[in-house]
């Protein structure tokens, strides 16, 4: 199941070899054309985006998210033409367990950013859930200030799909937002799945939002996420939580010291704050700006961006190679049998793998049994 081939077939339907007398495509002039082909040309989309038109931007993101191969092909053209105008924003990844107060935090920090004259895009990546289930961003109403600001563009997570697919869509959406003049981009994720690694690989700064609790309450965060953080904000540091928050701050600082210095040369900072009472949010923003200055000066900022570009090329290749293999029906059937043999210790992992690979490469070279 190699997606790109589908696109080629459908993009130029007139060029396909007809099996007999070609039937002209059915057309109902009264049907809304967007269902089959967007009303805007690629040039319309690109111009609208470059003009900073949020309605056109929104339609273009819908195009990116569409499963329709025609939309998909046009989306690729739009992204390609927006690329030269992209790359000039500060990209901030925000993660934290549900209940850490991410929405309020994003709304508070975000409104400070737009008030200062900047333009902010807020995206989400959350492949595990549909629009309304897990993603806080699905509930736009929680972002009271941002949802009505002219300088903000809030976009919920694309509906469920593979992590690779959602990650691609989010990265392409970043390109469009940047081309539309958004100079700050937030990418939000729920800190419970594999999506954090994906977000970490598409942002400049990765912020972990934690709760002002200690011990058991802190254990919700997935192993490894703390180590990706460039900074930790301990939220809900208000009322009776203040002592607990300061304790948690010390704990995290000590834990961070156990790890070696990150490649950026930047020692992750821990800041207590309250998005609800709007305290210390400026400190969090200052930390992020300090990080940007620091890494731009030592060259890490651009080095990381370039590495990310390559990372996603390699990720896409690896995912497609795996899809081509594992979605092959013959392989799927063999795999089940071999897993059973593995469980019974009748075959070595290596021998099982090579049995499958032999069959797969035979199929590929004979072009039989495909998808």
Q: Which of 115, 132, 254, 298 binds its own copies (CB under 8 A)?
A: 254
132-140, 151-159, 167-175, 267-275 -> range binding its own copies (CB under 8 A): 167-175
Check residue 142 for interaction with its own copies (CB under 8 A).
no
Burial 13-52 (b: 16+ CB within 10 A, else e): eeeeeeeeeeeeeeeeeeeeeeeeebebebeebbebbeee
Single out the residue of 278, 284, 276 nearest to residue 249, CA to CA: 284
**Residue 91 φ/ψ, nearest 5 degrees:** -105, 125
Check residue 242 for interaction with its own copies (CB under 8 A).
no
Check residue 296 for interaction with its own copies (CB under 8 A).
no
Q: Which lies closer to its own copies via its Cβ, residue 12 or residue 350?
A: 350
Total residues interacting with its own copies, rule: CB under 8 A: 69
Q: What x/- string results for residues 78 through 117 when contact with its own copies is judged by CB under 8 A?
A: -xx--xx-xx------------------------------
Q: Which of 215, 239, 265, 299 binds its own copies (CB under 8 A)?
A: 215
Please report how close the Cβ of residue 47 comes to its own copies at its closest, in angstroms: 19
Q: Which of 22, 43, 289, 321 binds its own copies (CB under 8 A)?
A: 321
Please report how close the Cβ of residue 48 comes to its own copies at its closest, in angstroms: 19
What is the side-by-side strand order in the sheet with 90-96?
Answer: 152-154, 120-124, 184-190, 90-96, 205-211, 231-235, 269-272
Check residue 317 for interaction with its own copies (CB under 8 A).
yes
3-state secondary structure of 314: helix
Rounded distance, CA 251 to CA 275, Å? 21
Q: Which lies closer to its own copies via its Cβ, residue 81 or residue 144?
A: 81
Which three-class secondary structure string do you get for 105-155? HHHHHHHHHHHCCCCEEEEECCCCCCCCCCCHHHCHHHCCCHHHCCCEEEC
Single out the residue of 279, 208, 269 nearest to residue 241, CA to CA: 279
| HSE of 357, CA atoms in CB hemisphere, 13 A | 7
Please report how close the Cβ of residue 182 comes to its own copies at its closest, in angstroms: 17
Structure-block tokens of residue 370: 């495909």
Q: Which of 115, 132, 346, 371 binds its own copies (CB under 8 A)?
A: 346
Check residue 325 for interaction with its own copies (CB under 8 A).
yes
Rounded distance, CA 301 to CA 168, Å? 21
Q: Which residues bind its own copies (CB under 8 A)?
A: 2, 4, 76, 79-80, 83-84, 86-87, 168, 171-172, 175, 215, 218-224, 226-227, 251-252, 254-255, 257-261, 306, 309-318, 320-322, 324-325, 338-339, 342-343, 345-354, 356-358, 361, 364-365, 367
């Amino acid at each position: 199941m190699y997606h790109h081939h589908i696109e080629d077939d459908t993009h130029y339907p007139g060029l396909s070899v007809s099996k007999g007398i070609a039937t002209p495509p059915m057309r109902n002039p009264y049907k809304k054309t967007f269902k089959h082909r967007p009303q805007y040309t690629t040039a319309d989309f690109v111009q609208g985006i470059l003009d900073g038109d949020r309605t056109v931007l929104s339609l273009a993101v819908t195009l990116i998210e569409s499963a329709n191969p025609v939309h998909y092909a046009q989306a690729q053209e739009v992204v390609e033409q927006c690329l030269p105008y992209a790359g000039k924003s500060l990209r901030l990844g925000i993660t934290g367990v549900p209940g850490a107060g991410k929405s309020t935090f994003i709304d508070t920090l975000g409104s400070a950013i737009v008030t200062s004259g900047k333009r902010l895009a807020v995206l989400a990546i959350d492949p595990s859930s549909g629009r309304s289930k897990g993603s806080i961003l699905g509930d736009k109403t929680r972002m009271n200030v941002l949802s009505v600001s002219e300088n903000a563009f809030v976009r919920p997570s694309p509906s469920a799909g593979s992590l690779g697919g959602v990650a691609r869509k989010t990265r392409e959406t970043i390109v469009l937002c940047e081309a539309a003049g958004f100079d700050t981009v937030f990418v939000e994720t729920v800190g419970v799945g594999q999506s954090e690694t994906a977000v970490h690989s598409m942002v400049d700064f990765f912020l972990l939002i934690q709760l002002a609790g200690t011990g058991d309450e802190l254990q919700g965060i997935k192993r490894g996420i703390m180590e990706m953080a460039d900074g930790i904000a301990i939220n809900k540091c208000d009322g009776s939580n203040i002592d607990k928050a300061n304790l948690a701050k010390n704990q995290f600082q000590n834990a961070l010291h156990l790890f070696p210095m990150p490649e950026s040369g930047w020692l992750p900072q821990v800041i207590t704050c309250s998005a609800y009472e709007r305290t210390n949010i400026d400190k969090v923003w200052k930390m992020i700006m300090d990080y940007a200055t620091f890494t731009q000066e030592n060259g890490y900022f651009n080095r990381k961006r370039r590495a990310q570009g390559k990372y996603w090329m390699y990720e896409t290749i690896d995912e497609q190679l795996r899809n081509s293999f594992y979605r092959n029906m013959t392989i799927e059937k063999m795999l089940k049998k071999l897993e059973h043999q593995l469980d019974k210790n009748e075959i070595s992992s290596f021998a099982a793998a090579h049995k499958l690979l032999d069959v797969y490469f035979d199929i590929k070279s004979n072009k039989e049994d495909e998808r």
